[in-house]
Structure 1
Amino acid sequence: MTLSKRASWFLIAVGVWTWAIWPNFLRNIWKDDRSWGDGPTGFFTVHLVLTVVSLAIGSAVGWLGIRGARAARQRGTGDAAPSKQLINSGR
């Protein structure tokens, strides 16, 4: 499967957005009174799991976007030379 440049950059943006939002969310949960009793509460644990899973998914999506953008760039430079050769050779 190949990704367009637009789709690749969208996936990169989703990955960056994820890393911009979720750590701040966890800091806010950390400060919440419902997060701590004699130790971490269920409220904190659930939100910690949500944060970790979201960061993992965001990282994977961003990584796929980076790979798609690199592949699109290679296709862009790789496609130009052969087409010129075909035109110049009279095919």
Structure 2
Amino acid sequence: MSEFGRGAIWFGAGLVLGYLGSKLMEDPQGKVRRAAVEAVSQGMTFKDRVMTSVERARENVEDMVAEARHSREGIKEAGSADPASEK
């Protein structure tokens, strides 16, 4: 299937879901609306937890990179020391 065909299918699916979603939301006191609000709330909570985990992982990787750079610079400095100047 071509890119255009796949794009058209996704566009059509988006239209159908948008239409169905708008019909479900018309009743402000409906059970579906309350369930949707709860689902969105849970999704936001999940997103916050994932973002916290990602941030922690990013900080850990940055720390490891900084330690590796520091270690590498120490090795370079030790290797570039002039043995004749130590006498």
Q: TM-score range by the shorter chain?
A: 0.5 to 0.7
Identity of aligned pairs, percent? 2
Q: CA RMSD in A?
A: 2.6
Structure 1 runs (4+) deviating above 2 angstroms are 36-40, 87-90
Q: Residue in 1 aligned with 2:17?
A: none
Structure showing greater radius of gyration is 2
Alignment size in residue pairs: 57
Q: Residue in 2 aligned with 1:48?
A: 41
Partner Cα distance (2:44, 2:79) in 1: 52
| Cα distance, 1:83 vs structure 2 | 1.8
Q: Residue in 1 aligned with 2:56?
A: 63
Per-residue CA deviations over 1:30-67 (Å, capped at 9, x if unaligned) read xxx87x74998101111011101111111111110011
Task: Give the alignment's TM-score, normalised by structure 2.
Answer: 0.52
> 5+ residue gaps in structure 2?
1-24
Residue 80 (structure 1) aligned with residue 73 (structure 2): yes
Task: Give the alignment's TM-score, normalised by structure 1.
Answer: 0.50
Partner Cα distance (1:77, 1:61) in 2: 24
The one-letter code sitting in structure 1 at the alignment partner of 2:51 is: G
